[in-house]
Amino acid sequence: MESIMRSNISEESQSGLVLNWAICQVLTFEIYTGKSDNEKQFGLGGDVVLSLIRLAGLEEKKGHKLYFDNYFTGIDLMSHQEDINICATATLLQNRLEGCPFPEKNLWNREKRESFQFLSNEKILMAQRKDNK
């Protein structure tokens, strides 16, 4: 399984983004240098994911599997990944649910710890877990 990780790559705290295999072989990396003139399709984080996929030469329709953390993901990016047959697993922030009908936060907070709820459509399966007390 491939993963996308953030790491600090210099003493100047310049942030780097790395695409690597589970066996820790780096496929490609991209140094974040600030604002870009590239067309924004999925926001900064999502566009970084797509850029790394292109730079690594991961072909569409080959069944690659990616994991990315909450900074890089959104429902539209997950849907696009499914369209090009690249499986994706991600952590999603509450503010990026984009109308997904999970219970409102105040109702969900009443649930007991370790409660789960699942929602899906043709493309995406989403799971919500109550983690804290």
SS3 category, 95: helix
Same domain? 46 vs 86: yes
Q: Which residue has the tokens 């820790």?
A: 24
Same domain? 73 vs 113: no
Say which residues have a Cβ less than 8 Å from residue 133's Cβ, sequence separation at least 6.
Answer: 113
Question: Higher confidence at residue 60 or residue 90?
Answer: 90
- Of 13-17, 47-51, 81-85, which gets the smallest average pLDDT? 13-17
Same domain? 35 vs 76: yes
Same domain? 10 vs 69: yes
pTM of the shown model? 0.68
| Domain that residue 112 falls in | 100-133
Same domain? 104 vs 92: no
Same domain? 119 vs 77: no
Distance CA 55, CA 24 (A): 17
